[in-house]
A and B are shown apart, each in its own frame.
Chain A
Amino acid sequence: MTAILLEHPVDLDAEGFFQKPEQWTEEMGVEIARELGITLTDKHWQVINFMRNRYLATGSAPSIRTLGKESGVPIKELYQLFPKGPAKLAAKIGGIPKPHGCI
């Protein structure tokens, strides 16, 4: 479905994940995070950027374990930054499709 975010049309799935990462901007990330009740800090951006870059490079989003090992933020802290679902929330805010592993 097409939604309007900050006056731009974007393609989202039923749960609000971007279908076309190229439509995303950092400002949109801030807006999505705000709707989720999260104020983004540098630490958040470190995770979001890692997540997004890995997706754009490999075509699949990193798992929570990879985030913990390679993003520079340990898993426990990831859960503090993105309560309940770090991989899912970082993907949503970072404008990439919903990670697998949710089936």
Chain B
Amino acid sequence: MSRIVILGAGTAGTIMANRLQRLFSREIKSSKTTITVVDNNPAHLYQPGLLFIPFGDYSPGQLQRPRKEPVNKKVKYISESIDRVASDENRVYLINGTPLDYDVLIVATGTRIAPEETEGLTGPGWREKIFDFYSLDGAMALRNALSTWKGGRLVVDIVDMPIKCPVAPLEFAFLADAFFTKRGMRDKVDITYVTPLDGAFTKATCSKELTHLLTDKNISLVTEFSAGSVDGEKGLLTSWDERQIPFDLLVTIPLHLGAEFVSRSPGLGDDSGFVRTDPQTLQSKVAPNVFAIGDATDVPASKAGSVAHFEAEILEKNVKLFLEGKPLEGRFDGHANCFIETGFNKALLIDFNYQVEPLRGFFPVPHLGPMPLLKESRINHLGKLAFRWVYWNVLLPGHDIPFVGPLMSMRGKTPLGATP
């Protein structure tokens, strides 16, 4: 008898539950294996859609489904909060005191924003002139504000890394440029992009290749700025080294932390509540029968749905090997694949991993594409829009996407600087 417990029914947890259900369908039928998912959220939100909400492109109803719906019915689903993981007892304690014993535990509880961790951020002006778009409430409040805004200084600020979907803040700035241009008021808006990193992108290659997009769109860039405090009344963003940036409207990407129960679970997480995880096998460092996937881990990959999808294939293999008592063979390479909306119905697509920076070429089929890498195009934008269907119908059910393997392919790709 093997008891598999998955904490979290977001993107990563749902994919894992559905994949493992298929893999062990016979054992589940004969009650030799059980899969249990624990999550107390009522809704499953299509998070990539949040970016478009402030510009009036989606309604909340289009982006949400009941949390339980995408999880296969043969998986046991418990709607309850988690108190802690006691890895020395192979047991999870739920907040109501119920213990849940496991043979294999998969932590897939993602990351959450913590705006209250930055001084003044949720003080005067919060959701009046200071907004986030990483929550549905925040994105909706920002939509209302933008629809009547007369212009001024718009500042987009990343408080700290890591964040979910590291390119989303930049996409927000690009889409804001297009939004104000279409409304005929771009000349009344200054857009400033503020980041704690030394460039606009998290990947050096992208910064080198794509920083011109900011210049072209007349977006100012402030780098190595670590936000220490916000004064909503005066409209001032201040860094720890006491530089100041004035704003009329601040769009903040607040500090990200792991789920709260991680910090209550001895040895499981780092200081920020991310699960300490082997970047290749996805086994946690706290115990061999505890694994982690998606945004919940501390692996140096992007916190993005594509990463969770690629990791799932590797983790499925390793969970099976672990239950058979064999050495783990699955090795994740950090593969991520991101669309970057650049405004005016165009988008970029980038493909990279732990070691390899984004390259030029075509995706998913070498030489044919149809989607070009590291280059703006309309088809990439259509790809991003079509992805909402792919998410609910292919990704969450845990199917493989045709032509797209979990490990990054180098076929047909050219390193930058080389002749194509």
Contacts and interface: CB of A to CB of B under 8 A. Distances in A.
A65 B117 contact: yes
Given A76-B228, A83-B241, A63 B300 contact: no
B360 interface: no
A65 B114 CA distance: 13
Interface in A57-89: 58-60, 62-66, 75-76, 78-80, 83-85
A64 B160 contact: yes
B271 A103 contact: no
Contacts of A66: 271
Contacts of B270: 58, 60, 63, 100
B351 interface: no
B224 interface: yes
Closest 3 CB pairs of A and B: A79-B240, A60-B270, A79-B241
Contacts of B306: none
Nearest to B114: A65
Contacts of B283: none
A63 B271 contact: yes
Contacts of A62: 271
Contacts of B224: 84-85
Nearest to B256: A101
A102 interface: yes
A100 B162 contact: yes
Interface residues of B, number: 25
Interface string B241-283: 1100000000000010000000000000011101010000000
A100 B298 CA distance: 7
B309 to A, nearest CB: 18
Interface string B144-161: 000000000000000011
B301 interface: yes
A66 B160 CA distance: 14
Contact of B302 (A65, A100, A103): A103
A78 B272 CA distance: 19
Contacts of B302: 103
A60 B241 contact: no
A87 B240 CA distance: 13
Nearest to A103: B300
Given A63-B272, A64-B226, A79-B240, 12 more contacts: A60-B298, A62-B271, A65-B117, A65-B255, A76-B228, A76-B242, A78-B240, A79-B226, A84-B224, A100-B162, A102-B161, A103-B166
Contacts of A83: 241
Interface in A16-41: none
Contact of B276 (A59, A64, A78, A80): A59
B145 to A, nearest CB: 29
21 contacts: A59-B285, A60-B271, A60-B276, A63-B271, A63-B272, A64-B160, A65-B271, A75-B228, A76-B242, A79-B226, A79-B239, A84-B224, A84-B241, A85-B224, A100-B270, A100-B274, A101-B161, A103-B202, A103-B300, A103-B301, A103-B302
